[in-house]
Amino acid sequence: MKENNAEKEIAQCNEEQEFTSKMAELYKKEEDKKYLDLTDQVRLLIPLKYSSIFPGKNVVEQMFAVTRLPHVHSVVGLPDIHLGYAFPIGSVVGASIVVPEGVGNDINCGVRMVRTRSNYRDVDMAEVARQLFDAIPSGIGGDTVNTIIDEIVNALNKGVADTQNRRAAFTDMKLINEVCNEGVDFLVKHGIVSDERDRIERGGRFPSDSRMLSQKAKAKGLKQLGSLGAGNHFLEIQRVAEVYDNDADFAVDELVFMIHTGSRGLGFEVCESATQVAASTRCITESEIGNESHDIQAVRKSIGLCSASISASGSSENLSYFEAHESEDYLLEMGCAANYAFCNRAIISKKVEEVLGQWNVKCELVYDVGHNSLIRENIDGRECFVHRKGAARALPPNHPELRCNREKGQPIPIGGSMGTSSYLLYAQDTAKSLFSSPHGAGRKISRHKARKLITMEQLRQVMGDIILMSKSEKGAIEEAPMVYKDIDDVVDAAVELGLVKKAVKLEPLAVIKG
């Protein structure tokens, strides 16, 4: 059996190498080898020289499958693109319809980067990591008892956070409703966090209405506010390793940290509910889905792809969607989850500040940006719904919506794989990517395969002196550095495309995972 499996893997490897070669041939026909317009609808933003991070056949299949939904205008694959559920992760889709699975379960999963202007040697790193691991709940569901909600409610009701404007006693449910309705505005108004909203995407608030949420979603939100979760979510303590933009005022060896998490179980419930509602009225089935364009059929033939089917989308369920006029309820629910995610990261950040304060270290937000979202935007004169799944919104210099860093472009913190470098980037000419940038390294080996191939001992060897604290060895192995693309290649590809420029390179000192 093992030999047969080995033969199968070798065959698959050879097949993928052949596919990559065929993709390279398509690039050679283009004058500009920096990206490939597979059709008028489908664009792959990876320069030919970075063929090592080309997507596999199944990912290109998934991009093509998305175009068969009605009223899809553009599908863009970014340098970190890889197979996802329904839509590829690392993709941007502009459409006149709303596809809940095009945002996914972890609505507004994102990265928050905070600087300190202190040297990392000024703190006891092992002690900082230990205290943060104890203070911040992590893991799947309710693996850790979460007392953060109680702390906030008690503070509000004692008048600690707001002595004059508190209208009535806060309950857990009132708190979760306000978080979902107001986002970071609520935390700032009650003195729970400092006002740094200019450095949060959309000011930390999406349009929303908590009355749209189910009680199940709110219950999960109550249980998990201020928690990391599991999977690829992390809290990473880092040092500045290299400064590319001297005006950014960073110093080598400055202590910084990144928080990567999202809307947790509340976001999951929003997506599940919306998908069911959409499916009850409109579901794309294989017999109803639109025919592919002749352009896509020709590209399929040239690179050896089989005919598309819904199963090629990576989903075991048929895709459902809302027409624009039917989407308002979902957009308000999604806004609740997005606001919850902004608050989740802000509350975790406050916990880190409290721990670092023992060493007289001050914290300052660099930027907080999501990478699973849906925003109604004007693209080339056409209003459409921009679905970003594993992609950060990236506003170029002097964009009217930018609230900070207008001359340089929106800051974009981009996390690498566990144990590798991360970056702070500035958005540049992002019109070609629907005003989006990569969000991370991009997985190249599935979680299942990682567990088969990698041991905890191997992972610790790769991590070296980096402190690793995780609730689950299995979860840590699934996120090992070798299961991801090279973050340097992903970032360099985005730079060559003109999407971003580098500001700072970061190296990990301690990693906390669920």
C-alpha distance across the termini of the chain, in Å: 34
Q: % helix / strand / coil in the chain, to the nearest 5?
A: 40, 25, 35
pLDDT of the residue at 16? 77
Which residue numbers belong to the known binding site for Mn(2+)? 106, 233, 260, 371
Query: For residue 480, which phi and psi values (nearest 5 degrees)?
Result: -60, 150
Strand 42-44 and strand 72-82: the pairing is parallel
Q: For residues 308 and 115, what is the distance between their CA atoms, to the nearest angstrom? A: 46
How many other CB atoms are found less than 10 A from the CB of residue 368?
26
Catalytic annotation on 439? Answer: yes
**Of 270, 264, 242, nearest to 254 (Cα)?**
242
Query: What's the mean per-residue pLDDT of the chain?
Result: 89
Q: For residues 245 and 7, what is the distance between their CA atoms, to the nearest angstrom? A: 49
Helix (H, G, I), strand (E, B) or coil at 213: coil
For the record, the structure tokens of 33 come out as 């080898």
pLDDT tens, residue by residue, 48-107: 999 999 999 999 999 999 999 999 999 999 999 999 999 999 999 999 999 999 999 999
pLDDT of the residue at 281? 77
Helix (H, G, I), strand (E, B) or coil at 141: coil
> Catalytic one among 190, 387, 439, 448?
439
How many other CB atoms are found less than 10 A from the CB of residue 142?
13
How many other CB atoms are found less than 10 A from the CB of residue 280?
9
Q: For residues 411 and 424, what is the distance between their CA atoms, to the nearest angstrom? A: 7
On whether the CB atoms of residues 185 and 200 are closer than 8 A, the answer is no
* C-alpha dist (Å) from residue 284 to 40, 70, 314, 483: 23, 9, 14, 33
Helix (H, G, I), strand (E, B) or coil at 491: helix
Superfamily for 1-513? tRNA-splicing ligase RtcB (3.90.1860.10)
Paired residues of 37 in beta bridges: 43
pLDDT tens, per residue, the chain with 514 residues? 334 454 455 456 667 788 888 888 888 887 777 999 999 999 999 999 999 999 999 999 999 999 999 999 999 999 999 999 999 999 999 999 999 999 999 999 999 999 999 999 999 999 999 999 999 998 876 545 678 888 888 888 875 445 555 455 788 999 999 999 999 999 999 999 999 999 999 999 999 999 999 999 999 999 999 999 998 999 999 999 999 998 989 999 999 999 999 999 999 999 999 999 998 876 555 444 555 666 666 665 666 665 544 444 444 346 899 999 999 999 999 999 999 999 999 999 999 999 999 999 999 999 999 999 999 999 989 999 999 999 999 999 999 999 999 999 999 999 999 889 999 999 999 999 999 999 999 999 889 999 999 999 999 999 999 999 998 899 999 999 999 999 999 999 999 999 999 999 999 999 999 7
Helix (H, G, I), strand (E, B) or coil at 343: helix
Q: For residues 278 and 62, what is the distance between their CA atoms, to the nearest angstrom? A: 21
H/E element, 462:
helix 456-463
Listed in order, strand segments (DSSP E) in 127-253 are 234-243
DSSP string, 261-302: E--HHHHHHHHHHHHHHHHHH-B--TTTSPPPPHHHHHHHHH
How many other CB atoms are found less than 10 A from the CB of residue 3?
7
pLDDT of the residue at 317? 43
Q: For residues 51 and 46, what is the distance between their CA atoms, to the nearest angstrom? A: 8
Give the start-to-end residue ranges of the domains of the chain: 1-513
Query: For residue 82, which phi and psi values (nearest 5 degrees)?
Result: -155, 170
**Of 261, 259, 260, 255, nearest to 238 (Cα)?**
255
Which residue numbers belong to the known binding site for GMP? 232-236, 371-372, 415-418, 422, 439-442, 513
CB-based contacts of 308: which residues, under 8 Å, 6+ apart?
61, 64, 65, 68, 292, 300
pLDDT of the residue at 116? 98
